[in-house]
Amino acid sequence: MKILRCPAQLQLLEETLRKSLPTTLPVLGTVMTVARGNPAAHEVLVDSWPNFRIVLTRLCPEEHRDHRDHYINQLAVFYRDKEALWALLGSTKVVDRARAFQLMGMQEGLDEAVRDVAGARGLQVK
The per-residue DSSP string of 65-120 comes to: --TT-TTTSEEEEEESSHHHHHHHHH-TTTS-TTS--EEE--STTHHHHHHHHHHH
The whole model's pTM is what?
0.84
- Rounded to whole angstroms, the Cα distance separating 33 from 39 reads 7
Q: H/E element holding 57?
A: strand 54-59
Which pLDDT band holds residue 124 (cuts at 50, 70, 90)? Answer: confident
Tens of pLDDT along 7-62?
A: 999 999 999 999 999 999 999 999 999 999 988 889 999 999 999 999 999 888 77
DSSP assignment letter at 124: -
Domain ranges of the chain: 2-120
